């Protein structure tokens, strides 16, 4: 009968895997948070996302713009060298979690709460639970505004 220092629960209330995660602090490569800030399900989802995307390829940290750190796959392109640097022959392709319903990449909030949302994006979660979805970006742009087909009827002024 020992207490977990991370969540202050008895060791009997943990699975063996969760107990090991709480004893050994590990960093999640996807969200760069400690293992004690993950539920067991969330940890599995994050690790499987990296495993599916990277497979046996090399991965490294990447930061896009002002966003948080992420992880990316190193892709080497077969290009003629012609005296150019080898830096232009490699590309880091970011790894993102995807919604298991619609397949779109999810944002960082949805990534952090993937265990609660069950791997869905917010829109699919609201549809599944029959809640109203209010997009933070307003209405989706479809190209049709007030009866005009913008691809056909648009003219510069």
What is the per-residue DSSP string for 12-73? Answer: GGS-HHHHHHHHS--B-TTT--BGGGS-HHHHHHHHHHHHHHHTTS-EEEEE-TTS-EEEEE
User: Against a cut of 0.85, is the pTM above it?
Assistant: no
Q: Residues 11-58: pLDDT tens digits?
A: 677 777 777 776 666 778 888 787 778 888 888 888 888 888 888 888
Q: Residues 88-103: pLDDT tens digits?
A: 678 888 888 899 888 8
CA distances from 76 to 72, 79, 88, 91, 93 (A): 13, 9, 9, 6, 10
Residues in the chain: 157
């Amino acid at each position: 009968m020992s207490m977990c220092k991370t969540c202050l629960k008895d060791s009997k209330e943990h699975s063996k895997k969760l107990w090991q995660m709480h004893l050994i602090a590990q960093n999640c490569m996807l969200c760069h948070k400690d293992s004690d800030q993950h539920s067991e399900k969330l940890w599995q989802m994050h690790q499987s996302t990296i495993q599916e995307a990277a497979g046996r390829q090399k991965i490294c940290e990447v930061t896009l713009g002002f966003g948080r750190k992420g992880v990316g796959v190193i892709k080497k392109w077969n290009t003629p060298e012609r005296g150019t640097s080898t830096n232009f022959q490699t590309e880091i392709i970011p790894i993102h979690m995807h919604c298991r319903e619609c397949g779109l990449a999810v944002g960082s909030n949805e990534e952090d709460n993937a265990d609660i949302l069950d791997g869905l994006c917010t829109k699919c979660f609201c549809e599944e639970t029959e809640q109203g979805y209010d997009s933070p970006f307003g209405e989706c742009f479809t190209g049709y505004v007030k009866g005009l087909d913008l691809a056909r009827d648009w003219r510069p002024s």
